[in-house]
Amino acid sequence: MSLPAWAQQAQRIKWADLIPEGVPYGEIIATGEYDGVKDIWIPEFDDNGLQLNTALDGKMITLAGYVIPLDVSSAGTTSFVLVPFLGACIHVPPPPPNQLVFVTTDTPWPSDKLWEAVLVTGHLSANIRRTDVAQVGYDLAATQIEKFER
């Protein structure tokens, strides 16, 4: 069985690949603060959590993870944060920025599938930014999203 063209061109990566070689996993260095208006926890990470793997910048990649929707309509979500594990949440300290990916897609991911593991393919950009839910280290313009089958 041959793979679709988009999958043949993409590099399948793991979450550890988003951390530059030799850099340890980021740790929370302070208690951070709770934003009661937005109902989110804003932690402070050591510098390791902000180190991005720039070798992946501009690459077509495929990464499995879970969806934290940023917008939801009857059609689904077109922007979300991809997180490495089920239960990564904005109400408890989230993973460090280099373990969070801001995903945009023209084709909404269905609302009834928000809690399923997904496999996302698209162009990755190393770009630290703050979203409504967390500080993220990467942007991913998705060309394909599908249910992740283990």
Q: For residue 13, what is the domain's CATH number? A: 2.40.50.870
Tokens for 86?
């089920």
pLDDT at 147 over 80: yes
Q: Which residues contact 112 (CB under 8 A, 6 or more apart)?
A: none
Give the pairing of strands 77-83 and 60-69: antiparallel
End-to-end CA distance of the chain: 18
Higher confidence at residue 115 or residue 92?
115
- Give residue 98's pLDDT: 93
Average pLDDT in the chain: 87
3-state secondary structure of 21: coil
Residue holding tokens 């593991």?
117
Taking only the tens place, the pLDDT of each residue in 25-36 is: 876 565 677 778
State mean pLDDT over 48-63. 95
* Whole-angstrom distance, CA of residue 14 vs CA of residue 94: 18
- Give residue 1's pLDDT: 46
Q: 116 burial class (0-12, 13-18, 19+ CB within 10 angstroms)?
A: middle
Q: How confident is the model at residue 69 (pLDDT cuts 50, 70, 90)?
A: very high
Q: How confident is the model at residue 46 (pLDDT cuts 50, 70, 90)?
A: confident
- Give residue 43's pLDDT: 73
Tell me how many domains the chain contains: 1
- pTM for the full model? 0.84
Read off φ and ψ for residue 18, nearest 5 degrees.
-75, -15
Domain holding 85, by residue range, is 5-147
Taking only the tens place, the pLDDT of each residue in 119-128 is: 999 999 999 9
